[in-house]
Each structure stands twice: as structure tokens, then as C-alpha cells.
């Protein structure tokens, strides 16, 4: 696809730029796209999130079950318990 030079300069589109294409009633809308790195979490890190974000005893019990279902031992995960647990 060829984009006219004036438009490429105006919208800072260079070789290798990512472009989004959207269907519109008038045709196709092209616009520059931002590409951000995706974070990937280990099962242990996910377990830490689940356990540390529990807000009460019932929520914590559900988090314990979810962590065990992931194949992780909750006792091995450093985390913050909710008050009263």
C-alpha cells in the first residue's frame, strides 16, 4: 500500500510503522497505532496478586482455592493477608 509522502510526514508514519485499519461507511480509515509491550506473569506472580488482593476471609478462601487450582501451593507465596485472617 502506498501512502502519499505528505501524509506520511504529517502523521509521522515511517517504514515499519504500525497502522490500524477500521471499516467505516465511507470506506477504510487508516491511522497510526501504538504498540505496547505485553506483560506476562508467572503462575506464582498471579497467585501473589490473587492472595494479596483478597479483602476479607471469604474472599481469601476463594483466592486460596484459585491458587491451588493453578497448581501453586499458597504457603509458598509471599503475600499480604486481609485483616482478621
The domain segmentation of the chain, as residue ranges, is: 1-36, 37-85
Over residues 53-71, the mean pLDDT reads 96
What's the pLDDT at 1?
84
Over residues 51-76, the mean pLDDT reads 96
Q: Does residue 21 register a pLDDT over 90?
A: yes
Phi and psi torsions of 44, nearest 5°: -65, -40
| Residues belonging to the chain | 85
Nearest residue to 45 (alpha-carbon basis) of 69, 77, 68, 22: 77
- Prediction pTM value: 0.57
Query: Three cell numbers at 63?
Result: 483466592
Alpha-helical segments (H) within the chain: 5-10, 43-52, 57-69
How many percent of the chain have pLDDT more than 90?
75
Amino acid at each position: 500500500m502506498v501512502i502519499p509522502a505528505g501524509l506520511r510526514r504529517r502523521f509521522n508514519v515511517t517504514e515499519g510503522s504500525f497502522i490500524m485499519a477500521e471499516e467505516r461507511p465511507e470506506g477504510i480509515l487508516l491511522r497510526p497505532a501504538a504498540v505496547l509491550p505485553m506483560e506476562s506473569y508467572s503462575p506464582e506472580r498471579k497467585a501473589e496478586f490473587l492472595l494479596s488482593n483478597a479483602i476479607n476471609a471469604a474472599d481469601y478462601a476463594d483466592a486460596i482455592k484459585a491458587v491451588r487450582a493453578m497448581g501453586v501451593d499458597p504457603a509458598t507465596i509471599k503475600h499480604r493477608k486481609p485483616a482478621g485472617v
